[in-house]
A and B are shown apart, each in its own frame.
Chain A
């Protein structure tokens, strides 16, 4: 519970109605989409504008109260679980699209705007914001920036960080910093914009962002290729890329994932196939036609069982939105679904898929795999039961092996979900001790009192665990 003094000061800033601490409020802001993590905050606060944010942070800094900025809590690294209590900060009042600048092709937004709402608003003006995390219907831009979300279009268009060109954020001491702007070029000092993207709320609180937009591609085509195994699908992926074709989307699903997605979406996916590739290309019509034709040939050359091209944009859309439901649909199979996002150079995709299968066998755990085949970002998902502590241990060991394998191949422990708490014990595996120390130094410089989303990114030595939390 907040002490009376802090409470009083916060209430004065936002008004009584915007500082919540009933039993019910604490419970519903104690989690995100990460399995097996839950911790109660001391209170929940709803700032109305950036000045509120700055004032709140000042109080927190003075009294050393942790602050956890939270969008819609769809992240998968326990990034918004308030592990050390303190304040959960909501952006329900800060969800405006401030400006769509059609001359500079930018959009300026507040952090609480829902990703898809913004995407639709810019598309109405013929503009395109490519990052499309599966949760985009629910997630906020603030959350996307803090986690540097990826999505299905990452292969061709990049991820959130490639579109954030300006940020306004509140430092832990309450000062307001503005970085970048509507600029294609800007080398004035350190690139704080890039530093803030993916900082997981550990450096400051984002109160506004300017995002780069591009013209909406003229056409789009979607196709589906069936395989008898995931490995065969992996070979197609490597061959498409080595043929110098960069499709907008190149996703794969293994058999159990196809089954659960079909159970949910009922769109006639081939549930008997060992694996499928979902391929999309966009751009000028003749280019799309040519690429789709060529990719269909490659699929056949690499032993696809069949190749179907979607007959209408609606049919294509149904396929991609079904793919977005994959993770949650897998939750049908077992009570607990633990998803990772180990990523490897895309040439290694078939090899990594095979390694995951072997690791699952070794530890006798059930792992389904789907993900962004084109950019090497895999989503091995383990179906388990958090109540079965013995199995949970094996799951943890399996994921450790997967991380180790990914790094051996020149990959990383997380491609798009962030480190949070889930992967903090493994951060040094990827960036080295010196890398972790450099990051710590940055954190220390920004946030000497460690109030900004404490307990994230940097592991406490004592807890070298990924999924089991005691």
Chain B
């Protein structure tokens, strides 16, 4: 071991000792109730080290000075999806997600990335995601790529495969990027269709307001139909979830503060999110900023208002929905289910669509393997999990797989692609399907 390496390890141990919440580590009483809920424990055939109980024991061993933070340790924490399915399963209420994030943050700060990786991380985490105008610019390039014929050429010449099989599949399943002009002219305010039932603010998100802009439009359409008056604060930005989960906590905090400021003005009861991954961080801004006295209460006021789109739609009520007869299944967004604890509303909404036969898939509550940047960093495990997921999807004979988060959506689309089922199966975001069903319902009504 080089001197530098050993210095780094000593520093990590010191950081673990000063920063990890020891009470929370002790709170795990090792009963093992989390084991059956953990996708990596299951996929590894029951490797204790790849379980929440095991990972907590490892973190504690580092704090206790009983283990040096070696490569195995870092790899093991990287292998964790961060899906947090262990949290609802934990009777002791251990906040595993917080422990994981803290640990990853320490390791990340002490990490020596290779130059290209460093460049990519700094470029995306610092230069792109935090700046909505740059998100638009980057997506405009993507739009050019898709529209100009470069995409065709790249696919025909197999150029896309250079980036790896996964990325090549991902490239295929990306939706059509909206034109630069459309991305620039976003609404600020939407009136309710009838008498106002609820006043809400919409958290538009960075990816959702560019790559998935149509889903955001569908969200606003549905809110209008549900008689919600919507404001869309223009100074908001990326939620910071990808940063927080990748050990870039400081940037996440900065983004959180900007969002809190952006949503402090205005007359509304809820802050609506349509991406489970974003929503889960938004509801935990108070935890993220717990050590900053000036921000703690403001963060709490913000977090208390955050609600998933399906909850408000279910609560406020939508006009009658209808679709062509089809079997539909729902894949939970882990963070929506395990952190925001929203699981019933999306299912009830889907079941209320005329023409839809809802089939619950086995293990719908288990991660699809997307998990933020996981499907890029841990490709092998991600695809193993996805293949199991698709086997469960197929058993439902569903034509439509519904998701509630952009990462999950792309992953499920990739799953459809991998299975070669593009002609008989589709993956959609829940609001897109609901908007489709509301429009269809209106048409049927007119016909009648």
A-B interaction: yes
Which residues of A are in contact with B by a Cβ distance under 8 Å? 22-25, 27-35, 72-74, 90, 92, 114, 135, 137-138, 261, 263-264, 325-329, 331-332, 335-337, 385-386
| Interface: B91 (CB within 8 A) | yes
| Complex: A34 Cα to B31 Cα, angstroms | 8
Q: Which of B33, B36, B58, B66 contacts A328 (CB 8 A)?
A: B33
**With A23-B68, A29-B48, A331-B29 known to touch, is A264 a contact of B58 (CB < 8 Å)?**
no
Inter-chain CA distance A90–B35, complex, in Å, is 15
B29 touches A33 (CB 8 A): yes
- A335 contacts B27, CB within 8 Å? yes
Q: Which residues of A contact B48 (CB under 8 A)?
A: 28-29, 73
Residues of B within 8 A of A337 (CB): 29
> Once the chains are docked, how many angstroms separate the CA of A250 from the CA of B24?
34
Annotate B92-104 by CB proximity to A: 1 below 8 A, 0 otherwise. 1100000000000
Contact of B67 among A24, A31, A34, A261 (CB under 8 A): A24
A24 and B73 within 8 A (CB): yes
Q: Answer whether residue B32 sits at the interface, using C-beta atoms and an 8 A cutoff.
A: yes
Closest to A22 in B: B72
- The answer on a CB contact under 8 Å between B31 and A135 is yes
B90 close to A328 (CB less than 8 A): yes
Are A31 and B57 in contact, CB atoms less than 8 angstroms apart?
yes
A110–B73 alpha-carbon span in the complex (Å): 32
Report how far A66 CA is from B56 CA in the complex, Å: 27
A23 near B72 with CB under 8 A, answer yes
A24-B73, A332-B91 are known; give 18 further A-B pairs, CB within 8 A.
Answer: A23-B67, A23-B68, A23-B73, A24-B67, A27-B49, A27-B61, A28-B57, A33-B31, A90-B46, A92-B46, A137-B33, A325-B33, A325-B91, A326-B91, A328-B33, A331-B27, A331-B28, A335-B26
In the complex, the answer to whether B49 meets A264 with C-beta atoms within 8 Å is no
CA distance A329 to B91 in the complex (A): 4
Chain A binding surface SS class: loop
> In the complex the two chains form, what is the Cα distance from A245 to B158 in whole Å?
75
Distance (whole angstroms) from the CB of A459 to the closest CB of chain B: 23
Q: Which one of A138, A327, A331 has the highest number of Cβ atoms from chain B below 10 Å of its Cβ?
A: A331
In whole angstroms, what is the CA distance A135 to B32 when docked? 8
Mask for B28-64, Cβ within 8 A of A = 1, else 0? 1111110110000000011011010010011001000
Select one of A30, A138, A326 contacting B36, CB under 8 A: A138
Q: Which residues of A contact B45 (CB under 8 A)?
A: 92
Against A, the Cβ 8 Å flags (1 = close, 0 = not) of B176-211 are 000000000000000000000000000000000000
Query: How far is the CB of A269 from the nearest CB of chain B, in Å?
Result: 14
Is the C-beta of B392 less than 8 angstroms from some C-beta in chain A? no
Is the pair B73, A138 in contact by a Cβ cutoff of 8 Å?
no
User: Shortest Cβ distance from A155 into chain B, in angstroms?
Assistant: 23
- Tell me whether B31 and A24 are in contact (CB under 8 A): no
Known: A22-B72, A28-B49. A74 touches B58 (CB 8 A): no
Return the chain B residue nearest A140 by Cβ: B46
> Which residue of A has the minimal Cβ distance to B56?
A28
Q: Can you offer 5 A-B residue contacts whose CB atoms are under 8 A?
A: A35-B29, A135-B31, A263-B93, A329-B93, A331-B29
A22-B72, A23-B70 given; A336·B30 CB < 8 A: no
Residues of B within 8 A of A (CB): 23, 26-33, 35-36, 45-46, 48-49, 51, 54, 57-58, 61, 66-68, 70, 72-73, 76, 90-93
What are the residues of chain A within 8 A of B51 when measuring CB–CB?
28
Chain A residues near B90 (CB-CB < 8 A): 328
The CA of A336 and the CA of B91, in the complex, are separated in Å by: 14
A87 to B23, CA, bound (A): 31
Closest B residue to A260 using CB positions: B91
Chain A proximity of B338: nearest CB distance (Å): 14
**Distance in angstroms between the alpha carbons of A110 and B28 in the assembled complex:** 30
Among B27, B33, B58, contact of A24 (Cβ-Cβ < 8 Å)? B58
Residue in chain B with minimal CB distance to A139:
B32
CA distance A327 to B67 in the complex (A): 29
Docked-complex contact A74 and B31, CB < 8 angstroms: yes
Give the complex CA separation of A139 and B182 in angstroms. Answer: 56
Question: Across the interface, do B93 and A74 meet the contact criterion of CB distance under 8 Å?
Answer: no
Q: Are the CB atoms of B32 and A33 closer together than 8 Å?
A: yes
Q: Are B57 and A27 neighbours in the complex by a CB distance under 8 Å?
A: yes
Structural contact, A264 and B70, CB atoms closer than 8 A: no
Find chain A residues with CB under 8 A from B66 CB: 27
The residue that B72 contacts in the complex, of A24, A34, A326, with Cβ under 8 A, is A24
CA of A90 to CA of B68 in the docked complex: distance in angstroms? Answer: 25
Partner of A138, one of B27, B28, B35: B35
Enumerate the 7 nearest inter-chain pairs by beta-carbon distance, A residue then B residue, closest first: A328-B91, A331-B92, A325-B91, A335-B26, A331-B29, A329-B91, A28-B54
CB of A392 to closest CB in B, whole Å: 14
Nearest chain A CB to B277's CB is how many angstroms away?
24
| Nearest-neighbor residue (CB-CB) of A333 within chain B | B92
* A contact residues around B58 at 8 Å (CB): 24, 27-28
Contacts of A28 in B (CB 8 A): 48-49, 51, 54, 57-58
> Within 8 Å CB of B35, what residues of A?
72, 138
CB A75 to nearest CB in B, in angstroms, measures: 10
- The smallest beta-carbon distance between A296 and chain B, in angstroms, is 29
Q: Which residues of A contact B76 (CB under 8 A)?
A: 24
- Contact partner of B33 (CB less than 8 A), chosen from A32, A34, A138, is A138
**Residues of the B chain whose Cβ atoms lie less than 8 Å from the Cβ of A335:** 23, 26-27
Instruction: Give which listed residue, A25, A34, A135, A325, contacts B49 with CB less than 8 A.
Output: A25
Q: How far is the CB of B50 from chain A (nearest CB, A)?
A: 9
Question: What's the least CB distance linking B340 to chain A, in Å?
Answer: 15
> Nearest Cβ in chain A — how far from B267, in angstroms?
32
Give chain A nearest CB distance to B221 CB in angstroms.
Answer: 34
Beyond A28-B54, A263-B93, is A328–B72 a contact (Cβ under 8 Å)?
no
Given A24-B49, A331-B91, are A137 and B36 neighbors across the interface (CB < 8 Å)?
A: yes
Q: Separation in Å of the A321 CB from the closest CB of chain B? A: 10
Distance in angstroms from B247 CB to nearest chain A CB is 20
List B contacts of A329 (CB < 8 A).
91-93
A92–B46 Cα distance when bound, in Å, is: 7
A74 CB contact (under 8 Å) in B26, B32, B68: B32
Contacting residue for A332 out of B33, B61, B68, B93, CB 8 A = B93
> In the docked arrangement, what's the CA distance between A335 and B26, Å?
5
Q: Is there contact, CB below 8 Å, between B92 and A328? A: yes
**B26, B33, B35, B91 — most chain A CB neighbours (10 Å):** B91
Q: In the complex, are the beta carbons of B92 and A332 less than 8 A apart?
A: yes
When distances are taken between beta carbons in the complex, the residues of chain B under 8 Å from A261 are: 91
Residues A73 and B32 in contact in the complex (CB < 8 Å), given A331-B91, A335-B23? yes
Cα distance, A33 to B66, chains bound together (Å): 19
User: A31–B54 Cα gap in the complex (Å)?
Assistant: 10
Q: With A and B bound together, what is the CA distance between A92 and B44 in angstroms?
A: 10
Measured in the bound complex, the distance between the Cα atoms of B305 and A189 in whole Å is 71
Chain B residues lying within 8 Å of A35, measured Cβ to Cβ, are 29-30
In the complex, what distance in Å separates the CA atom of A332 from the CA atom of B35? 18
Q: Chain B contacts of A92 at CB under 8 A?
A: 45-46
B56 → A minimal CB distance (Å): 10
Query: Which residues of chain A are within 8 angstroms of B93 by Cβ–Cβ distance?
Result: 263-264, 329, 332
Chain B proximity of A273: nearest CB distance (Å) = 20
B104 to chain A, nearest CB (A): 17
B81 to chain A, nearest CB (A): 18
Least distance between A48 CB and chain B CB atoms (Å): 12
Residues of A within 8 A of B32 (CB): 33, 72-74, 135, 138
Q: Which residues of A contact B46 (CB under 8 A)?
A: 90, 92
A137: chain B residues at CB < 8 Å are 33, 36
A27 touches B36 (CB 8 A): no
User: Nearest chain B CB to A139's CB is how many angstroms away?
Assistant: 8
* Distance in angstroms between the alpha carbons of A33 and B53 in the assembled complex: 10
Q: Which of B30, B45, B67 has the largest number of chain A CB atoms within 10 A?
A: B30
In whole angstroms, how far apart are the Cα atoms of A337 and B28 in the complex? 10
